[in-house]
Amino acid sequence: MTKIVIVGAGMMGTATTFPLADNGHSVHLVGTHLDTEIIQSCKSQQYHPKLKRAIPPGVRPYFIEEIADAVQGAEIIVSGVNSLGVHWMAKTIGPLLLPGQKIIAVTKGLEVDAQGNLIILPDVLASELPAEIRDQVKLAAIGGPCIAGELAGRRRTCVVFGARDAKVVELLATAFRTDYYHICTTTELVGLEYCAALKNAYAMAVGIAYGILQKSGGVDAAGANGHNLAAAIFGQSCSEMGVLLKIAAANQGFALGLPGAGDLFVTTNGGRTSRLGQLLGAGHSLAEARQIMVNETLEAVEIIRAINSALPKLERDGRLSPGALPLMRSLIEVIVQGKPVDLALESFSACL
């Protein structure tokens, strides 16, 4: 039995308590300052209102003010915050960390540093930890296709755990693995995290196809849908993930597997990222879509902005040709430049 603390009681953080509790670990769930109502409900009724499900018996909920108690003696800490919470996470957890602890993040995103380089979130987290502990803890992340509500429903799920240290990633996988939560492992953390982040941008793009369909009057009398366009965007998306992996000197195979095509597939099946794409495809501006989707975290917008910020340096360094990534460039036009949707279908290609 291992003591494991999840920080962030949103859907995905809380979903990880299910395999952990089923494996008999001591599981502590700490809400952030945004999760007060959730933790109140968990404490009083063992019920998570967003997951619409009882949390597993034995999972102990904590308010953010109780985090020091919760973290004490934990072997594994799960970072369950979203991409905007990574800096908060580092500042909050940093002073409480002890050498040898492992931090595994469900957070998906990429940031750009001052020099215009894309940085994976585990490295962002590490950079914000106190210098004296930074190299004493081990960082890991989870990629692959996983809708939180399905994991919490104990539906069969296959994910990828990644950490640069092979022993660490195997230890983590052993702690989490159940007969419904299948885990394969990799030490190629950059490839895994690129896919985890990029898939949100590209899932939004697939959603655009269905917004275009809606705008044009929907399915016609003979039943013609918009799947051909959605599929073209899907295929181009996987190719462009491959291009971006190559630029990052990562294994292009990730674009094909669970972290790339697999995670993109699941993210196109509804959810807020698809919905944002549909709104844009139907003709709404980003500002209008934001008003309609008020209070929703729009990871796709963040990642598209990050890529936009990284492009000039990549082109200056000769690592990216001006014609590469036509779909991403059309997403940048919509999200960063506020232009109407104009997918560059004529620039889509057969393969990399």
| Binders in 235-294 for a second copy, by CB under 8 A | 235-236, 238-239, 241-242, 251-263, 265-266, 269
The pair phi, psi for residue 146, each rounded to 5°, is -155, 105
Torsion sign across C-alpha atoms 219, 220, 223, 229? negative
Binding flags for a second copy, 97-136, as an x/- string (CB under 8 A): ----------------------------------------
Q: Which of 72, 117, 174, 225 binds a second copy (CB under 8 A)?
A: 225
Residues in region 12-51 near a second copy by CB under 8 A: 51
CA atoms within 13 A on the CB side of 276: 27
Q: Which of 21, 67, 139, 160 binds a second copy (CB under 8 A)?
A: 160
Cβ atoms of 204 and 280 closer than 8 Å? yes
Cβ atoms of 230 and 210 closer than 8 Å? yes
Helix H or strand E segment including 11: helix 11-15
How far, in Å, CA of 264 to CA of 261, rounded?
5
How far, in Å, CA of 220 to CA of 55, rounded?
44
How far, in Å, CA of 17 to CA of 266, rounded?
21
Cβ atoms of 108 and 299 closer than 8 Å? yes
How far, in Å, CA of 250 to CA of 194, rounded?
9
How far, in Å, CA of 343 to CA of 327, rounded?
6
Q: Which of 58, 94, 116, 153 binds a second copy (CB under 8 A)?
A: 153
Torsion sign across C-alpha atoms 197, 199, 201, 204? negative
CB of 103 to a second copy, least distance (A): 20
**Does 78 contact a second copy by CB under 8 A?**
no
Q: Which of 43, 53, 164, 290 binds a second copy (CB under 8 A)?
A: 53
CB of 74 to a second copy, least distance (A): 26
Under rule CB under 8 A, how many of the chain's residues touch a second copy? 71
How far, in Å, CA of 302 to CA of 275, rounded?
16
Nearest residue (CB) to a second copy, 71 versus 192: 192
Binding flags for a second copy, 163-182, as an x/- string (CB under 8 A): -------------------x
Collapsing DSSP to helix, strand or coil, 187 comes out as coil
Nearest residue (CB) to a second copy, 227 versus 316: 227
CB of 50 to a second copy, least distance (A): 10
The pair phi, psi for residue 351, each rounded to 5°, is -165, 180
CB of 139 to a second copy, least distance (A): 17
Piece of the chain touching a second copy by CB under 8 A; list 24-32, 71-79, 117-125, 234-242: 234-242
The pair phi, psi for residue 29, each rounded to 5°, is -110, 115
Q: Which of 156, 167, 316, 339 binds a second copy (CB under 8 A)?
A: 156
Piece of the chain touching a second copy by CB under 8 A; list 30-38, 80-88, 298-306, 344-352: 344-352
Nearest residue (CB) to a second copy, 5 versus 334: 334
Nearest residue (CB) to a second copy, 47 versus 88: 47
Residues in region 180-209 near a second copy by CB under 8 A: 182, 184-186, 188, 191-192
